[in-house]
A and B are shown apart, each in its own frame.
Chain A
Amino acid sequence: MNGGADLGGMMGFGPVVQEDNEPNFHHVWEERVLGITVALGACGLWNIDQSRFSRESMQPADYMKSSYYQIWLYGITNLLKEHNMISETELESGQPSLPRVAIKRMLLPDDVMPMLMAGGPANRQEQTAATFSVGQQVQTINAHPSTHTRLPRYARDKTGVIKKIHGVHVFPDSSAQGLGDAPTWLYQVSFSATSLWGEDKNARDSVSVDLWQPYLKALT
C-alpha cells in the first residue's frame, strides 16, 4: 500500500539525530510492547507480513509522527481486535468481556530461548528454476496495490540488474493477505542512483533492493 511507511526518497524530515549511549528502551511500556508482540507470535493467528501490514495501515500522518513502539502498539492492538482477542472497551475498562478465542499455543518462559534462536525462516523448497540470472537487466512493474507489498514506490517501473539470487522465499504480497506463502524466487536487484533519482546523483552509487519475481519483468 502507498502508506506512511513507504518513506524512501521523501524529504523534509530533517537530519538524522543520534543519541549517545542510547538504551534499547526509553520507557518500560516499550519493553512490554516488544515482548508482548514477540510472545503473541506463538499464538499462530498471524504471520510477520500481516504484522507489518497492520503497522503500516496506520493513518500516514500518525505513522510519520509516531515512535517505533507506538507503531508497534498500534499494530498489535489492531491484530488483536481483528481476531476478537481484545476490544477497545476492554482496553478502556481493563475488564475482560470478550470470550476467549482458540490459539495455537501460549509462549511459556522455557520456550522463549528456543523460539528466539529458531527464528522464522522465510525460505522454501525450490519448485521451478529461477527465471532471471545474475547480470540480467530487469524492469520492475508499475503497480500500486492497496494491500501489502515490499516493492517500494521509488523502485517501481525502474530498470535494474540482478546482482544475486537469494533463493525461494515466502511472497509477502500473498502472505499478508492470508492467501498462503506463495513462495517465489527472491533476487537482489541493483539500481543506479541516477536511474532512481536523476542525473545529478553520483553515477557510481547504487541502491540494491530485494525483490520477488512477480515484481520483475525481463527487459526486452
Chain B
Amino acid sequence: MHSHDDDDHSHLTDIEARVRALESLLSEKGYIDSASVDKIVQTYETNIGPQNGAHVVAKAWTNPEFNTWLKNDATAAIHSLGYTSRQGEHMVAVFNSADTHHLVVCTLCSCYPWSVLGLPPTWYKSPPFRSRAVIEPRAVLADFGVEISESITIEVHDSTAEIRYLVIPERPENTNNLGETELAKLVTRDSMIGTAVLDKLSATS
C-alpha cells in the first residue's frame, strides 16, 4: 500500500482505486449523482456537528422550561431547535448529576447522534471503546483522563436501537454570569458522549 499522502494519482492505494471505480460505475449507471455525494459530505463537514449539541446543552442550562421539555421529550425539544436530521430521529437526553455519570456507546456498530454531534470520532467506532465501555466504564474513562469516584453511579447506554442518547453535562461552576452563547462554547463533544466532564478550570480558561 502507498502512503495516503501521495498526491500522484497514478499511485492510488488499492482502496482509493476501488472507491473511485465504484463511484464512477454507480454514476455511469445512474444509481447516484456525484454532486449529491459532494453535498452530503459538505453538510457533515460544515452544518452538522457538535455545535448543535452544545446549543442544546447551553439552552438546557439556562432555560428551565426547555430543560424540563428535554427531560420529558428530548426528540421534540431538540427538533424544535431545527436539529431534526438523520440519526437523531428519536432522542433521549440523560443528565449528569452529583451522583450519576452517563456514558454512551454502541457496542454492535457505531450508532451516534449525528444530528447533534455530527459524525463520530474514530475512537467511538473502534473495538477498544465498543468492547470496554460496557464492562469497564471507569477504566475507559481513565483513558480520557476522567476519574469518577466509586461512590458515583455510572450508567452506560448501549445504543442498540434507533434511540440516540445525548449526555447533558453538569454546568461548570463559576459560569453564572455567562449567557447561552458563551456557555455553548464551553461544551465539548466528549462531554456530550460522557467521556469528559466540564470542570471549573475549563470554564474559566
Contacts and interface: CB of A to CB of B under 8 A. Distances in A.
Contacts of B127: 7, 10, 13, 64
Contacts of B25: 86, 90-91, 94, 96
A6 B158 CA distance: 12
Given A9-B135, A117-B85, A206-B153, A85 B109 contact: no
Interface in A31-64: 31-36, 38-40, 43, 48, 52, 55-56, 64
B104 to A, nearest CB: 10
B131 A13 contact: yes
Contacts of A130: none
Interface string B28-47: 11111101111111011100
A150 interface: yes
A86 to B, nearest CB: 6
Contacts of B48: 116
Interface residues of B, number: 76
Contacts of B33: 39, 106-109
A51 B84 CA distance: 22
A188 B128 CA distance: 24
A100 B43 CA distance: 29
Contact of B19 (A7, A29, A96): A29
A8 B21 contact: no
Interface in A186-208: 186, 188, 190, 193, 196-197, 202, 204-208
Interface in A53-107: 55-56, 64, 67-68, 70, 73, 77, 80, 85-86, 90-92, 94, 96, 100, 103, 106-107
B4 A27 contact: yes
A135 B32 CA distance: 48
Nearest to B4: A27
A122 B162 contact: yes
B19 A106 contact: no
A179 interface: no
Contact of B161 (A55, A73, A85, A150): A150
Interface residues of A, number: 92
Contact of A91 (B18, B45, B90, B143): B18
B144 A86 contact: no
Contacts of A193: 154
Interface of A is mostly: mixed
A43 B110 CA distance: 23
Contacts, number: 256
A129 interface: no
Contacts of A25: 41
Contacts of A106: 30-33
A36 B30 CA distance: 13
A40 B33 CA distance: 10
Nearest to B83: A117
Interface in B68-109: 84-90, 92, 107-109
Given A17-B123, A35-B37, A208-B156, A113 B15 contact: no
Contact of A39 (B18, B24, B36, B151): B36
A29 B15 contact: yes
A18 B144 contact: yes
A80 B18 CA distance: 14
Interface string A142-164: 00000000111011000000001
Interface of B: 4, 15-16, 18-26, 28-33, 35-41, 43-45, 48, 84-90, 92, 107-110, 115, 118-119, 121-123, 125-132, 134-135, 137-138, 140, 143-144, 150-163
5 contacts: A6-B108, A106-B33, A152-B107, A154-B107, A155-B158
